[in-house]
Amino acid sequence: MARFLVRRILQGILVMLLVTLLVFGIFFLGGNANTVATRLAGRNATPQTIALVAKRLHLNQSVPLQYWDFLEQLVWHHNLGYSYFHEQPVGSVLKQAAPITLSLALGAAVIWLILGVLSGVLSAVKRGRIIDRAITTLALFFYSFPTFVLGLMLLFLVSYQLQKRGIRIFPGQGYVYFSASPTKWFESLVLPWITLALVSAATYTRLTRGSLLEVMGEDYIRTARAKGLSERRVVFRHGLRSALTPVASQFGIDVGVLVGGAVVTEQVFGMPGLGYTAVQSINNGDLPVIIGIVIVASAAVIVANILVDLVYAVLDPRVRLH
């Protein structure tokens, strides 16, 4: 188990190195020191700032040395760089945005996991009946829904229509901090949660249904039934346990991706989380922030992947042998 864990962590570090190499390639190559420095310093940078950036990042050195420097700052000093647009370290910009993304992503994840798995189980158990058809049709419908279309439709059909009738339950856009008002915080998150959860739940419904149907055809399920167990016990104890493996791996990856920024949902609902900040940074020409978010987001995905593998290995000893 320890060896398995060590190998997975080493693999994760290797992939993270490749990520930094790619980021470095995108942002630091393709131009001389001056153009790169101008790019990183932002649109309104003075020549002094540009010179300062070039000096700080050692842009006059050879490329391998520059990359080494970039890595050293990142790993040794936990320094994600400096945003010349915000006039503060990238780390503090991200610290302000992260809680917003986290409350959005984690809240939605809980909703879609429950919704997706339960509807998937129901659909598989009632296979071929009208309820199965209804669930599969709905799942296909929401699966086809682009997130931003669903979000805007909810804003238009729920928030705006209610507001027109004088009911202001869901604010249209924006985010309220939990510390400012817990109830307002909750209200500002309801529609974004629903948007993210409905689109994702559809994938989980399809995944759970397919996987459970496959498992229920196995011999050991017949054995469990032959023992005289109740159908509920057979489905939830015996069937679902192995049917949930692909669901768990999908869940890990999805949450990992979202923690790095629920880009579209944040953009639709004007919530200044990591994804929204990244999109704004294009318009602001604030590249250091984009670099920081990409690195944090990739790290989140890599950690999520390792956690998923770890959960697998605990649940299924065969995994450790590979």
Partner 1 sequence: MTLPSSIPATELDVPTTLDGEVPVAIRGRSTWQLAWARLRKDRAAIISAVIILLVVLMAIFAPVIAALTGHGVDHQYRTTGLTTSGLPRGPSGTFLLGTDDLGRDVLVRIAYGARISLFVGVVATLATVAIGAVLGMMAGYFSGAVDSVIARLVDLVLSFPFLLFAISLVSVTHPSLTVVIIVISVFGWAAVARIVRGQVLSIREKEYIEAARSLGASPWRIMFIDVLPNVVTQLVVYATLLIPITVVLEATLSFLGVGVPPPTADWGQMISESSTIYQQAWWFLVFPSLALLITTVSFNVLGDGVRDALDPRLNRQ
Residues of the shown chain interacting with partner 1 in the complex, contacts defined by CB under 8 A = 11, 14-15, 18-19, 22-23, 26-27, 30, 39, 140-141, 143-149, 152-153, 155-156, 160, 213-214, 217, 253, 256-257, 260-261, 263-264, 267-268, 275, 278-279, 281-283, 285, 287, 290-291, 293-294, 297-298, 301-302, 305
Least separation in angstroms between CB 101 and partner 1: 12
Choose between 131 and 185: whose C-beta lies nearer to partner 1: 131
Separation between Cα atoms, residue 263 and residue 269, nearest integer Å? 10
Choose between 193 and 269: whose C-beta lies nearer to partner 1: 269
Least separation in angstroms between CB 26 and partner 1: 5
Residue with tokens 């080494």: 68
Q: How many CB atoms lie within 10 A of CB 207?
A: 21
Least separation in angstroms between CB 285 and partner 1: 8
Least separation in angstroms between CB 297 and partner 1: 4
Residue type, 186: F
Choose between 119 and 275: whose C-beta lies nearer to partner 1: 275
**Cα 71–chain centre separation:** 24
Choose between 107 and 285: whose C-beta lies nearer to partner 1: 285
Least separation in angstroms between CB 175 and partner 1: 17
Choose between 28 and 112: whose C-beta lies nearer to partner 1: 28
Buried b / exposed e along 175-195 (16+ C-beta atoms within 10 A) = bbeeeeeeeeeeebbbbbbbb
Nearest alpha-carbon partner for 136 in 111, 150, 119: 119
Least separation in angstroms between CB 182 and partner 1: 28
Vertex 224 angle, CA 218 and 226, to 5°: 105
Choose between 27 and 185: whose C-beta lies nearer to partner 1: 27
246 neighbors 211 (Cβ within 8 angstroms): yes
- CA torsion through residues 28, 33, 39, 45, sign: positive
Separation between Cα atoms, residue 160 and residue 153, nearest integer Å? 10
Least separation in angstroms between CB 156 and partner 1: 5
101 neighbors 259 (Cβ within 8 angstroms): yes
3-state secondary structure of 82: strand
Choose between 143 and 185: whose C-beta lies nearer to partner 1: 143
Separation between Cα atoms, residue 144 and residue 255, nearest integer Å? 20
